[in-house]
Amino acid sequence: MGRLDGKVAIVVGAGQAPGEGLGNGRAAALRFAEEGAKVLLVDRIGASAEETRAEIETRGGTASVIEANIAKEAECEAISRTCLERYGRIDILHNNVGIGHPKDQHAANMDEEVWDRIYAVNVKGIVMASKYAIQPMREQKSGVILNISSIASICTPPGLLAYKSSKAALNAFTQHAALKYAKDGIRVNAILPGLIETPMATQEHVPEEERAKRNEIRNQAVPLGRKMGSAWDIANAALFLASDEARFITGVLLPVDGGQSARVG
């Protein structure tokens, strides 16, 4: 018996950035499928989600793909509609999305287009994706929404104002929705990753000759083991929160960061 047997999960951001290693969204999709869930894989790059689907099916799981850009409300509606058409219900919505930008700066240097782009995905997109999953969850009197935030939302990284504040807004949405829909049997939680070794975090926008040095700096910043976490660490936390083992947990902002956020205060 799998921990998610009989469940249907939507994983938004189920592909991953190009590069070596495993991304958080793909890892969560694999774990959900391994534990018995049927998984609808959502990504703005369909070919990347198809790679995730192939890996799930190789392992004996069930999955299908929809290409969508959650910055567009109509495409968020299509995600939930497609899931209901294919699988008949929505038990889990895993919002594994979040973008940054190399030009994300302090307020005095902020570029309007950078700000709008980050908020369109990190806040509006997740709210809209949740909007269309909530109604079927209310009708079935159960459901789980998981949002991938960041410890940047509670710590103070240099620069990154748009990213940090967008993730803080996502935390607020998580707590708001947890209380608003608790009576409907819907649990809403957020995971706050710290420094995780994924292609997006360690390779995207980083020149190849600088990666080893940068990764060592990241490793040394982690109190637990002086090593970054892996996508499996985020996926395992998501699996627990998605499962019935967490039936009495909602509104939680869970750091998965090797102790980094314990430095706050």
d(CA 38, CA 165): 33
Q: Between β-strands 143-148 and 186-193, what pairing exists: parallel, antiparallel or unpaired? A: parallel
Closest by CA position to 96, among listed 186, 7, 10, 2: 10
Query: For residue 239, what are its two tokens?
Result: 């699996």
Q: Are the C-beta atoms of residues 230 and 22 closer than 8 Å to each other?
A: yes
Q: Are the C-beta atoms of residues 52 and 22 closer than 8 Å to each other?
A: no
Closest by CA position to 48, among listed 31, 34, 65: 65
Q: Are the C-beta atoms of residues 194 and 258 closer than 8 Å to each other?
A: yes
Annotated active-site residue 163? The verdict is yes
Closest by CA position to 53, among listed 32, 82, 29, 80: 29
Set 87, 119, 132, 163: catalytic member: 163
Hey, which residues are catalytic here? 163
